[in-house]
Amino acid sequence: MTKERKSRRTKENGPAKGIYNTSQLFNFAQDSYLERTSRPIYAIVFLLPFIVFYELCVLFIRTDVLNQSPILVDTFVWLQKFLGSLGFGGKLAWVAPPLVVVVILTALQITSGKRWRFWLGDVWRMAVECVLLAVPLVVLVLFINSLGQSQRDAAWFDGTSTAAQNTAITSCSAVTADSLPADSTEPGGAMSWKYWVANIASGIGAGIYEELIFRLILICVLMMLFQDVLGLNHKSSIILSVLISAALFSAHHHIDFLSGQPNQRDLFNWMRFSFRTIAGVYFAVLFAIRGFGITAGTHAFYNIIAVSINARFFQ
């Protein structure tokens, strides 16, 4: 068989033996850390504690104080309303969204044909990886923040913020700790632990459900639209899908897509919109390379870092 035929056969039949196609962009050696942790089954196990924590907070942290600081993530509410229209009501409406996440990932695991074997020791490595992957976003938002501060750009907080608020870290969540009621702080100006827990929970929920909607679902839908319906080539379809999903991801922090009304907690300004669009592209690249689990984990850990830094230094 000639070299040309071998090359053609490799392209038609996939990568050579010993290489396992785990993502849209890269092939990782089978059973390596990168291959294992890209599997949907790993996403389920890794994200399950986050899902349970968010669900418990939504169900049980319902005091009058916390109700003033919204804990529900917009994308979680979207899923609730969609499932409610299908007949999921009452208490089932609260547990249905996490079940959707598990069911989708289970279906992807089955259809992918990947191994179900799981190494428990990989969980802490995934957590460390997510924290490290969140660091570039922290650096980026601090850099953009410094530009805004040097230009005296008060648009970070709608023109009414203090100097401390102008330097606060923007969260990649539709529900942020940027604007809290007057009784949300303890004596001395520190954020109340109740509000800290509420905003940690909302940051975790955003990491899971925003990635579900804007990466796992929306990018797949856009790819089918551009590539299968409109007939664009694969590269153009990927670029358009990533950019559109990132822009919509950023815009939904400022606009309630269901009502079309501005989000009064986070009114539009170009600096925040630009940062979150870049973050959306970053998450899309992670999703293509590392899969849903690492991407959602990175998103969640970035929000946790942002809320914690804001609570410690800027509230």
Which among 255, 252, 156, 260 is positioned nearest to 211, based on CA atoms?
A: 252
Cα–chain-centroid distance for residue 284? 9
Task: Provide the residue count of the chain.
Answer: 315
* Angle, helix 40-60 to helix 122-150, in steps of 10 degrees: 70
What is the DSSP track for 271-289? HHHHHHHHHHHHHHHHHHH
Residue-by-residue pLDDT tens, the chain, 315 positions: 444 444 444 444 444 444 444 344 667 878 889 999 999 999 999 999 999 999 888 777 654 444 444 567 888 888 888 888 887 777 777 788 899 999 999 999 999 888 898 898 999 999 999 999 999 999 998 888 777 665 544 443 344 343 344 456 777 766 533 334 434 455 444 556 677 788 889 899 999 999 999 999 999 999 999 998 998 998 899 999 999 999 999 998 888 777 777 777 777 788 889 999 999 999 999 999 999 999 999 999 999 999 888 877 766
Give the alpha-carbon dihedral of 46, 50, 53, 56, to 10 degrees: -100
Structure tokens, 274:
């630009």
CB crowding 216-245: b at 16 or more within 10 Å, else e = bebbeebbeebbeeeebeeeebbebbbebb
157-161's contacts with Cβ under 8 Å and 24+ in sequence apart are 158/267, 158/269
> b/e for 82-111, b at 16 or more Cβ within 10 A?
ebeeeebeeeeeeebbbebbeebbeebbee
CB 134 within 8 A of CB 302: yes
Write down the pLDDT at residue 315.
Answer: 60
The residues near 115 (Cβ < 8 Å, ≥ 6 apart) are: 31, 39
CA contacts within 13 A on the Cβ side of 279: 35
Taking each helix axis as running N to C, give the angle between helix 92-112 and helix 40-60, from 0 to 180 degrees, rounded to the nearest 10.
Answer: 180
Token duo for residue 135: 């660091």
- What are the domain boundaries of the chain? 30-113+122-314
H-only helix segments in 92-233: 92-112, 122-150, 163-166, 193-211, 218-223
- C-alpha 74/C-alpha 198 separation (Å) is 15
